[in-house]
Amino acid sequence: MTLIPGTQPPANLEAYAAVLFDLDGVLTPTADLHMKAWSALFTAYLAELPDAQPYTDDDYYTHLDGKKRDDGVSAVLASRGIELPFGSPDDDESAETVSGLGNRKNAEFTRILHRDGIAPYPGSKALVDDLRSHGVPVAVVSSSKNARWVLEAAGLLPYFSVIVDGVVATEEGLPGKPAPDLFLDGARKLGVTPASSVVFEDALVGVAAGHAGGFGLVVGVDRGAGQQALLDAGASVVVDDLAVFVRTGAGS
């Protein structure tokens, strides 16, 4: 675990009224699956454009991590000076549109998830169990339209009565991260104030969203973005495993 110098994390989060978790990379290692799916999409797509810079993992952390799918596609294309029509959400995955590429990526993600399955991070599952056993309200706030499906596949869906995901964002017209609207909507639905709540995020745009929303504690979870980058984005503290917040003797 790494901390801002001179600070200590609350041992059990008792000072806060609720906890809001990002999903991919915080509760489940689906960020790894997303990375594979994005890599498969853009490695093939950019290879067809001889003048385009090849795709790398840095593109994931810079342009894709934590964003809505179509926002991520647009960001990668813009980084290469490529312009495509946006299209519509129901575009076929073969369509040369932003939505078409996004749907192509989603088809690859779905294939990988069906093939490999998913399980929650043990430390994250332990923290969720601990919070629920002490009556602390919890929510999932994710940019992904697959959030409910991933939660169900990981056995976590019954744990969360409040889920603000990419589907909700579309239905309610909420801008994606780094805007704070998704987290603010989650806090509102839990009936708590942002200042009294905690955000757990692994993506730089998600950390920035929690910071912009005025949340009482923004925990950066370092799954590859880097400690300093998470701190610079607005994290109050950076950890590499949520188990550090599980109170001693939890579940005994």
Q: Which residues are catalytic?
A: 22, 24
Please enumerate in sequence order all residues whose Cβ is within 8 A of that of 51, keeping only pairs 6 or more positions apart, or say none: none
Beta strands in 4-161 (DSSP E): 18-21, 138-141
Helix (H) or strand (E) holding 112: helix 98-116
Please provide residue 139's backbone torsions phi and psi, each rounded to the nearest 5 degrees.
-145, 160
Token pair recorded at residue 80: 């290469």
Q: Could you tell me whether strands 217-221 and 197-201 are parallel, antiparallel, or unpaired per DSSP bridges?
A: parallel
Q: How far apart are CA 243 and CA 127, in angstroms?
A: 6
